[in-house]
Amino acid sequence: MRLKLKKEDLNKGLQAVQKVAQNKSNNISSENGLLIKALHGIIEFQANDYDMGIKITVPGIIEEGGEAFIANPYLMELTRRLPSDEIEIIKEDADTQLLIKGGKLKFECLTMNPDDFTEVEIVENGYASFTTTSVVMKDLIDNTSYACATDVARPIFMGTFLDVQGDQMTMVATDTHRLALKTATLDAPVDNPLQAVIPSRLLSEISRQLPTDIPETVEITAVRNYLAVQFGNVYIRTRLIEGEFPNYRRVIPNDFKCIVTVDRAEFTGAVERASIVAKDAQYNVINFIVADDQIKLMSQHPDYGTVEDYVPCHLEGQGLDISFNGKFILDILKHCHDSEVILKSKENSPMLVQDKEDTSCVFVVTPMRTK
């Protein structure tokens, strides 16, 4: 194998597959590493672990085709620091060494048998498929996946639920204490509905790869136990979490006695200040008292004192005295984008939070019982 690549293209290829290539969590040593493959005029970088497979094509000159399977933790860092923009990659067929040349630098590293690498197969047909854009997809992932559970005892909540019906695509994540939901409209309705629970760790990797500077078309295909995502020169396969995701629509409250409109920046600042004392105490509890067009925030630490703050608001309906985990409220406010947010609740009930103008995002947080 003899290849000539631009440093930028080589690094793009390595960066795309790096996280999957270096994943040690599955303990399948033969799967760790990446495959460089140059055949039929195409240069491919591939990585595949038990959970996710990724394949990316990069431009370059193939002087001699071939393939190399490498597991080297220093490869990425060295290629990023190569002193030349023109990189050569050379591997003789009988040789186990791979040579990377850039400027006066030479880097030789051991390779493994390419037959030991499980290649990422492209699947053409699944039971359902749809297309969207990279910007829409990234927006859905980033606004929901933060609310996933981290507790392995309940694996179904460690993923984000993708629900595609008609021309509506919805993503939902919950750890049972809070819920984040985002909906987008597709250009064309789907023929078959699609429902899948995607591990949040894998979704964040997909989000990292999605381009946002120039929106690209993203094709998503669902097969029985995995999802295929394709955009530009990147193809990703991700396993799904088995099991049935609970009916999330039943969890979203619709009966409210108190509706509050508040400036997002002011409210965020007050919650941040109250959290300074609360976060050291157990559960980060902040008490919110809504009355007379203002929200009173109170937090206390048994050893270090009490914080009290006020934020003006517009109140419709009854007043409210309720407590929430301050971190959960801040997480929601970080994912709101309008200048004003709407809070809807009633005594001892979950609170629904939304941007004032954009109703495509819904956040729900359950109250905390305080003595």
First-residue to last-residue Cα distance in the chain: 70
The reported pLDDT for the residue numbered 277 is: 87
What mean pLDDT do residues 77-100 have? 90
Residues 169 and 270 grouped into a single domain: no
Does 122 fall in a domain? no
Residues 212 and 138 grouped into a single domain: yes
Does 370 fall in a domain? no
Q: What's the number of domains the chain is made of?
A: 3
The reported pLDDT for the residue numbered 124 is: 77
Q: What percent of the chain has pLDDT over 90?
A: 78
Residues 243 and 150 grouped into a single domain: yes
Query: Sheet of 97-102: strands edge to edge?
Result: 61-64, 2-6, 86-90, 97-102, 105-110
Residues 343 and 290 grouped into a single domain: yes
pLDDT at residue 133 tops 70: yes
pLDDT at residue 302 tops 90: no
- What is the domain range of residue 340? 258-365
Residues 132 and 242 grouped into a single domain: yes
Q: Residue 263 class from Cβ within 10 Å (0-12 exposed, 13-18 middle, 19+ buried)?
A: middle
Does 94 fall in a domain? yes
Residues 207 and 263 grouped into a single domain: no
Residues 218 and 164 grouped into a single domain: yes
- CATH number for the domain spanning 93: value is 3.10.150.10
Does 322 fall in a domain? yes
What mean pLDDT do residues 312-317 have? 96
Which residue's entry shows tokens 């984040």? 180
Q: Residue 144 class from Cβ within 10 Å (0-12 exposed, 13-18 middle, 19+ buried)?
A: buried
The reported pLDDT for the residue numbered 259 is: 96
Does 162 fall in a domain? yes
Does 252 fall in a domain? no
Residues 282 and 232 grouped into a single domain: no
Residues 321 and 242 grouped into a single domain: no
Cα–Cα distance for residue pair 339/52, rounded to 1 Å? 38
Which residue's entry shows tokens 């969890």? 251
**Residues 187 and 131: beta-carbon distance below 8 Å:** yes
Does 169 fall in a domain? yes
The reported pLDDT for the residue numbered 76 is: 87
pTM for the full model? 0.90
The reported pLDDT for the residue numbered 93 is: 83
Residues 132 and 233 grouped into a single domain: yes
Boundary-marking domain end, from 223, 247, 271? 247
Residues 108 and 11 grouped into a single domain: yes
Residues 238 and 262 grouped into a single domain: no
pLDDT tens string 244-297: 999 999 999 999 999 999 999 999 999 999 999 887 666 789 999 999 999 999
The reported pLDDT for the residue numbered 121 is: 87
Does 121 fall in a domain? no
pLDDT at residue 28 tops 50: no
- Indicate the pLDDT class of residue 31, thresholds 50, 70 and 90: low
